[in-house]
Structure 1
Amino acid sequence: MNRGQGLTELEQFAPNSHRMGQVTSVSQLSDVQPTDWAYQALASLVEKYGCIAGYPDGSFRGNRAVTRFEMAAALNACLDVVSDRFATKEELATLQRLAEEFSTELATLRGRIDNVEGRIANLEATQFSTTTKLSVDAVMAFQAGGNTGSVFDPVTGTVLTGGGYNPTVISRVDINLNTSFRGTDQLTTTLQTGNGGLDAIAASGVGVGGFVNAGAVDYFGAGPALNFYRLYYSFQPTEHLTIGAGPLFYPSDIIDGNSYANDSFSDFSSGFFINNRLIVPFPVDGPGGAGGSIVWNPGGGSFTLRGVYVAATAGAPTNAIAAGIAGAPVNGGLFGDPYQGSIELEYARTFGANEQNNVAVRLQYTNSSTLNISQNAGGLNVELTLGRFGLFGRYGYSGVKLYGAGATILGLGPFAVDPGVFVIPAGGQVNTTAQTWMAGLAYRDLFTEGTLLAGAVGQPFINSLGSVPGINDSTQTNYELFFRYPLSDNIAVTPVFMAITNANNSSTNSPILQGLIRTTFSF
């Protein structure tokens, strides 16, 4: 049957004078009031299903008698709307046929879902914590190396000869518990252990203590006891601002980061190449300490400002004696020697197609007093990525004051100076300058995705102190080359070659060479 020109069934069968106009809201019907007993039913039919209309004058005339034809037409209009919104009998039949055809697969899927739900319930019932995540970083390194002649060890005062050392195995494990209570904060607790192993460079007395870590692998000497290594809490009072504090953390946790040279588990092994030791002096960053930090990234943009203060003996209420320096008192406490306060301003951004390139420049300043050596140091930390190629480097310049009984021949250990040339007047001080630099190249994804080939060269401690033949008469130079190859997302193997010439700034010391096979595990 022809339904007419766009008219509903109810309009089709009504006399011309009674044809009703379609409405979209019950409020358009002038004679329908919220107090009417059928108001809610009409509202549903008009606004939800759109199958009730009104007369041209805006009335509904709910008390008017309706013919059978009009009732049939109205009912059919509503059924048309319902059928458009729900499945037809044919569609339901098709769905039933498909369900029967794939009943086996559906049963298997249902079983798997039940299994997953069971496992989730078990995990929720037995999980370690709802707020804490456990992660572990472990390194195992086999190393062999030694010096080609002899090396004077200023720490022990002995000459190491024989041309080589026993091959060793070095291990270190960091167990990290990262806890978040609100989603915008984190409590980091780290435990550390290892086998206490040394590499050939550390055995030569290079980079084992004093003002500068000059070359020993960063993960030497850990353990074998399980030690409390880090406890640090950070939170965000507002977006883009992070404030942190803790009784034990490290300046290098906050400043002097670099994408290519900052993590001895994944890039350079040498403690010299992973940080600028004028900006993060070893007597503070080595043992760590108590203090606070702030990181501000205004608007999430390219600039980031970082500040950190750490005191290495914040738990000591009285003066202490500096280890390895006879009669050298340090103040201790939260604001006493050894301490450092640093700020860093970073500019970093990505550029190029798919933002595959990046540049970062970090300007740094550190004021510190470490084992009766005070300094004001400025630093520059840069990196540039162009596709797979990377360039990076660090530079530091410092005005250094050495004072008191602590600034003796071992005051700059392991860099020795001649007592006959370097003499501190009683109660006085000696001023000097110090510089450090390193530069390197890197290439990512060689042979396979995730690899990193990188090499660097640098000089840890260029100074203006006095010298005599064989003592502070040259400048130590460090070299390192490595190739990191990931076996999986959790395991990487890294061959490493390291070399040092003019160790401890002495021209009489023979070169030190060593190679390592480093395997790291992260999970």
Structure 2
Amino acid sequence: MKLTLLSAGSLCLFGFATASVPVHALPSPDSLDQVTSVSQLSDVQPTDWAFQALQSLVERYGCIAGYPDGTFRGNRAATRYELAAALNACLDQIGDRFATKEDLAAVQALQEEFKTELATLKGRVDGLEARTKTLEAQQFSTTTKLQGQAIFGVQYGDRLNTAGTDSRATAIARVRLSFNTSFNGSDLLETTLETGNGGTDFVGGSGLALDGSGVDYAGAGPNVTLQRLAYSFKPTKNLSVTVGPVLEAADFIDANSYANDEAEDFSSSFFINNPLIVATEPGAGAGFDWNVAGGPFSIRAAFVASNATNSAGNIDLDGDGIPENGGLSGDPYQASAELEYAKSFGKEDKNKIAVRLQYTRSSVFNLHQNVVGLNAEATFGRFGVFGRAGYSIDPTFTNVKQADYFLTWMAGAGVRDLFIPGSLLAVAGGQPLVIQGEQGPEQTNFEAFYRFPINDNISITPAVIVIADPANGSGEPIIQGMLRTTFSF
């Protein structure tokens, strides 16, 4: 910041060569050490333009202090308020030391020059002290930060070429409040509460399509539920470990820069996570994320038991007459691992490639699966391509083999910063469940969206969802339009 003084005479006292220069505020006596010779300041040289002024202030008037490391740090710019406060402190030391009337006149001129700034500064300090005392008395916590997210969605869906359908537009809302607590700066206790209006969309609420085809934020509330409770810590620099009674496998595996967040990109659950790799609902468990030697390779793993709160076994959870087991080792559960290679390249590292190899062993309501998966993405400047695939080997229900394989896949493309900085336009298609040996069509999902930010805290996303051959049958296609607004704070 530039500082302009009124009189050239007052500048002479501080050795300024011009009337508009960057200045260094005199160090505070409370935190810095008084010096008696300018040679004690290691970063002040005889060739510096202000050397004579500093030498005079140190050796003639005794009102210059240095930092504890013996430096003056004279290149840092100062505001008028900083210089006013420093000048006032200096005047207290040298007020009775002036040898001439001219010196005294110069000091009086400076006092008059900064009278307004000193009064303003005093008022600001008093105000800050009062507000600090109020905050200390009323603060929620010194260790916890609150983060919030609210989603407002409006949708309308219909079944194409089918007369007599009675579809209605609906409003969907979901709210999450997260309390993020750190006890030592490198750990994190996450507590997230969730509620909403219980709204559903046409695809997910009609029962006409496979699970995961509906929007992910539908159905929340109206009761308040505990959506996440987990504690993360770092035993070593590149290793993060998480344990908790409420967490998800997707917290650790199957991330993707273009298709991973129902509040920011695709709305359909199917496009957010691979339904065979992320097989369970939230539950108790643990996971880790290890970035090997800080390089391009990372290893992640997770174990989640969705019915861990129930200590009894042999419970018929889904009403099919076949009992499941509770506890940490009971059905439903999944154990997953992921190996990732991620590398940025090109000018300013604007290009990126990431490949994730995955394995999941799961048992969900007595359907036992061993699934290998692939999650990949590549970014070239503003443009990107991405995709997922999962292959379930010999899926078995209780002791009955269901097929040689189940298959799921999706692929898409996106472009960032189109028309509006921070925006994302993306489109994807895929099949949630292809069953080996079944005849006839397989359900195919499509979704396209354009998210554009209003500001750092609000974004609006129009989207279109199309389902062909819903529920792996010969039904008419479904089309659904969405308008989502996301508030983050």
**TM-score, normalisation: structure 2:** 0.77
1:512 to 452, 470, 478: 478
8 A Cα contact 1:206 1:215, kept in partner: no
**Identity %, equivalent residues:** 48
1:502 to 459, 466, 469: 469
TM-superposed deviation, 1:206: 4.8
8 A Cα contact 1:206 1:216, kept in partner: no
- SS of 2:321's partner is coil
The 5 A counterparts of 1:320-335 are 320-335=314-329
8 A Cα contact 1:367 1:377, kept in partner: yes
Range moving further from structure 2, 323-332 or 445-454:
323-332
* 295 and 81 in structure 1: CA distance in 2 versus 1, 3 angstrom threshold: closer
Cα deviations across residues 330-381 of structure 1 (Å, max 9, x unaligned)? Answer: 1221112111000111111222222222221111111111111111111111
Match of 2:422 in 1: 450
Distance in 1 separating the partners of 2:215 and 2:394: 26
8 A Cα contact 1:293 1:308, kept in partner: yes
* 194 and 463 in structure 1: CA distance in 2 versus 1, 3 angstrom threshold: same
* Paired amino acid for 2:194: Q
Match of 2:264 in 1: 266
Distance in 2 separating the partners of 1:215 and 1:261: 14
Kindly name which structure, 1 or 2, has the bigger radius of gyration based on alpha carbons.
Answer: 1
1:489 aligns with 2:456: yes
Distance in 1 separating the partners of 2:56 and 2:461: 73
8 A Cα contact 2:214 2:268, kept in partner: yes
Distance in 2 separating the partners of 1:96 and 1:445: 58
The 5 A counterparts of 1:118-517 are 118-149=130-161, 162-206=164-208, 213-281=211-279, 284=280, 286=281, 288-404=282-398, 428-467=400-439, 473-506=440-473, 508-517=474-483
8 A Cα contact 1:147 1:164, kept in partner: no
8 A Cα contact 2:451 2:459, kept in partner: yes
TM-superposed deviation, 1:85: 7.8
- SS of 2:234's partner is strand
Match of 2:29 in 1: none
TM-superposed deviation, 1:120: 2.4
- SS of 1:276's partner is coil
Cα deviations across residues 41-74 of structure 1 (Å, max 9, x unaligned)? Answer: xxx99x979xxxxxxxxxxxxxxxxxxxxxxxxx
Cα deviations across residues 185-214 of structure 1 (Å, max 9, x unaligned)? Answer: 11111111001111010122156xxxx733
* Paired amino acid for 1:477: T
Distance in 2 separating the partners of 1:465 and 1:245: 40
Range moving further from structure 2, 112-121 or 136-145:
112-121
The 5 A counterparts of 1:4-19 are none
Cα deviations across residues 266-286 of structure 1 (Å, max 9, x unaligned)? Answer: 1100000000111111xx1x3
Distance in 1 separating the partners of 2:250 and 2:459: 23
8 A Cα contact 2:317 2:323, kept in partner: no
- SS of 1:329's partner is coil
Distance in 2 separating the partners of 1:48 and 1:400: 79
* 206 and 246 in structure 1: CA distance in 2 versus 1, 3 angstrom threshold: farther
- SS of 1:330's partner is coil
* 351 and 429 in structure 1: CA distance in 2 versus 1, 3 angstrom threshold: closer
Cα deviations across residues 12-36 of structure 1 (Å, max 9, x unaligned)? Answer: xxxxxxxxxxxxxxxxxxxxxxxxx
* Paired amino acid for 1:289: G
- SS of 1:272's partner is helix
1:117 aligns with 2:124: no
Cα deviations across residues 251-279 of structure 1 (Å, max 9, x unaligned)? Answer: 00111111111000011000000001111
* 143 and 348 in structure 1: CA distance in 2 versus 1, 3 angstrom threshold: same
- SS of 1:369's partner is strand
8 A Cα contact 2:213 2:445, kept in partner: yes
8 A Cα contact 2:204 2:211, kept in partner: no
Which stretches in structure 1 are left out of the alignment for 5+ residues? 1-43, 50-77, 151-160, 405-426, 468-472
Distance in 2 separating the partners of 1:428 and 1:435: 18
8 A Cα contact 1:337 1:371, kept in partner: yes
Cα deviations across residues 479-511 of structure 1 (Å, max 9, x unaligned)? Answer: 1111111111111111111110001111x2111
8 A Cα contact 2:256 2:377, kept in partner: yes
Cα deviations across residues 306-350 of structure 1 (Å, max 9, x unaligned)? Answer: 010001101222235454442021122111211100011111122
Range moving further from structure 2, 314-323 or 433-442:
314-323
- SS of 2:235's partner is strand
* Paired amino acid for 1:487: I
- SS of 2:223's partner is coil
* Paired amino acid for 1:452: L
8 A Cα contact 2:216 2:268, kept in partner: yes
1:82 aligns with 2:80: no
Match of 2:89 in 1: none
* Paired amino acid for 1:518: R
* Paired amino acid for 2:384: G
* 85 and 353 in structure 1: CA distance in 2 versus 1, 3 angstrom threshold: farther
Match of 2:27 in 1: none
